[in-house]
């Protein structure tokens, strides 16, 4: 993989063995990380939309559960710091 990363010839990536290696790496490692990140991002966007709608756009007092929204948003923002595993 390191030799492929440092290679300047794009024709190397048309070889079936190289395609199989890249597909294997994607299926075993990368797809899980990116799928999880996608769902975390959707959760963040949905929670932020609910927070804006329920807390900022509704007149009156803040509901008792506004801390739940803030905790979910904070967890979704902190997650990318740890998913790399380093």
pTM metric for this prediction: 0.69
Structural domains of the chain, count: 1
* Range(s) of the domain holding residue 50: 2-82
pLDDT at 60: 62
Residue by residue, DSSP assigns the chain as -HHHHT---GGGGGSHHHHHHHHHHIIIIIHHHHHHHHHHHHHHHHHHHHHIIIIISS-SSPPTTHHHHHHHHHHHHHHHHHTT--
Read off the pLDDT of residues 7-56 as tens digits, 9 standing for 90 and up: 888 888 889 999 999 999 999 988 988 899 999 999 999 999 988 888 77
């Amino acid at each position: 993989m390191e030799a492929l990363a440092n290679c300047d010839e794009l024709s190397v990536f048309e070889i079936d063995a190289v395609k199989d290696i890249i597909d294997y790496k994607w299926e075993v490692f990368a797809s899980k990380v990116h799928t999880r990140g996608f769902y975390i991002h959707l959760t963040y966007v949905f929670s932020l939309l609910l927070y804006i709608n329920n807390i900022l756009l509704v007149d009156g007092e803040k509901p008792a559960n506004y801390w739940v929204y803030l905790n979910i948003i904070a967890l979704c923002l902190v997650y990318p710091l740890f998913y790399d595993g380093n």
